[in-house]
Amino acid sequence: MSVTATLRQCHRLRKHLKALQEEIDRGPRVLKAQQARLAAEEQAHADHHEAVKRLKLKQRDDEGTLKQTEARLAKLEQQLQGISVPKEYKAKESEIEQARAKRAELEDAILATMGEVEERTAAVPAVDRKWGDAMAEFAQYEVDAAARFERMKADQIDTQAALVKAEADIPAKNRPTYDHLVKGHGPDAFAAVKDRVCQGCRTGLTQQKVIELSGGAFSQCPSCGKMLYPAAE
Ligand SMILES: [Zn+2]
């Protein structure tokens, strides 16, 4: 195999290794985002049920207060019958007025709460389903992510082995340059040449350089220093 063919292969393998590593590194961030989404769904689900419970409690409290208010009102109305002093009569009347206003207020509140409880209770199946879906989705994500991770790890090992094998074909005299460049630039140490143009820096190459390359020799771009190979047809 010519040196340029080897460089082409090494470039491909190193690009693939870099992409693999980036995806592996992204894994924990993706997991964190998925966990945050699940937690938000869990909270929304719990909040909904908590709201229903709270509304029902308020309903019960208001109903209790209404009963007390009604009993008090009945007592006040009875007391009114026995009063003959006008000033006292007026005071009692005012008391009755206040109790009636409170009764009306409670009745309104109870009706409003009832409507809200009904509405939220009707939404419970949908809310439960949404939470169930979120849990199932997360479980599926975990299974998929684990499988993907295994695949990438295996791919990484295979690609690494293929790279070592390919790099063994780099001539010994070029090896120090090669090692120095890939150490500093990774996959960016290589560039294909297409239509006499270095694809790394877009500089046009001399005719002599192109001939050198097509002969399969080890060669670097005079402009950007990347190791060159002719682009595959
Ligand atoms: Zn270049």
85 and 191 share a domain?
no
CA–centroid distance, residue 166 to ligand 1 (Å): 23
Last residue of a domain, one of 148, 169, 190: 169
Whether residue 6 is contained in a domain is answered as no
pLDDT of residue 232: 80
184 and 75 share a domain?
no
CA–centroid distance, residue 220 to ligand 1 (Å): 8
60 and 117 share a domain?
yes
pLDDT digits (tens, 9 = 90+) for 124-141: 999 999 999 999 999 999
CA–centroid distance, residue 185 to ligand 1 (Å): 13
Note whether 187 and 154 are within 8 A (CB). Answer: no
pLDDT of residue 107: 97
122 and 185 share a domain?
no
Last residue of a domain, one of 116, 135, 169: 169
Note whether 162 and 201 are within 8 A (CB). Answer: no
Number of domains comprising the chain:
2
Q: What CATH number does residue 150 fall under?
A: 1.10.287.1700
CA–centroid distance, residue 18 to ligand 1 (Å): 21
164 and 188 share a domain?
no
Whether residue 15 is contained in a domain is answered as no
With cut-offs at 50, 70 and 90, classify the pLDDT of residue 233.
low
Last residue of a domain, one of 144, 169, 194: 169
pLDDT of residue 221: 96
pLDDT digits (tens, 9 = 90+) for 81-115: 999 999 999 999 999 999 999 999 999 999 999 99
Give the closest residue to 200 by CA, choosing from 42, 44, 7, 50: 7
CA–centroid distance, residue 197 to ligand 1 (Å): 8
104 and 176 share a domain?
no
143 and 51 share a domain?
yes
pLDDT digits (tens, 9 = 90+) for 155-214: 999 999 999 999 999 999 999 999 999 999 999 999 999 999 999 999 999 999 999 999
CA–centroid distance, residue 118 to ligand 1 (Å): 71
Whether residue 68 is contained in a domain is answered as yes
Q: Could you give the CA distance from residue 175 to residue 227 in angstroms, rounded to a whole number?
A: 12
40 and 145 share a domain?
yes
For residues 7, 10, 12, 17, the Cα torsion angle rounded to the nearest 10 degrees is -160
85 and 184 share a domain?
no
208 and 229 share a domain?
yes
Over residues 36-61, the mean pLDDT reads: 97
CA–centroid distance, residue 222 to ligand 1 (Å): 7
CA–centroid distance, residue 61 to ligand 1 (Å): 80
Q: What is the mean pLDDT of the chain?
A: 96
47 and 94 share a domain?
yes
**Range of the structural domain that residue 136 is part of:** 21-169
With cut-offs at 50, 70 and 90, classify the pLDDT of residue 154.
very high
Whether residue 1 is contained in a domain is answered as no
With cut-offs at 50, 70 and 90, classify the pLDDT of residue 117.
very high
